[in-house]
Amino acid sequence: MSGNQFSLNHDDELLTAEAWSGEGRNIALATVVDTWGSAPRPVGSHLVIDDEGNFAGSVSGGCVEGAVIGEAIDVIASGEPKMLEFGVADATAWEVGLSCGGKIRVYVEKVN
């Protein structure tokens, strides 16, 4: 499958990471580790990203997902994991993909 996003079942992201790694792709795994308030994806949700910006899965949506993908490309290049936190005021929550002012914390690590 080509393109930027894949429509996969919730548990398929780790299988995708394994497959992409087996193809020799440089990849990162982003995982929702904490949520506060209303968040679009639960703890344990994954996003797999390669160094070309292809991705599978979801950790939030909207601008948050784009920011995680950008940070993941940096993590792949540096090899240094990052903990990312996102939260917004209720007035702008829907614009960035966090409903009702929710907050999320996402851990991004390179997968070898």
Average pLDDT, the chain: 82
24 falls in which pLDDT band (50, 70, 90)?
very high
Q: What local confidence, expressed as pLDDT, does residue 36 receive?
A: 85
Mean pLDDT of the region 21-34 = 96
Model confidence band, residue 56 (pLDDT cutoffs 50, 70, 90): very high
Q: Tell me, letter by letter, the H, E, C secondary structure of the chain.
A: CCCCEECCCCCHHHHHHHHHHHCCCCEEEEEEEEEECCCCCCCCCEEEEECCCCEEECCCCHHHHHHHHHHHHHHHHHCCCEEEEEECCHHHHHHHCCHHHCEEEEEEEEEC
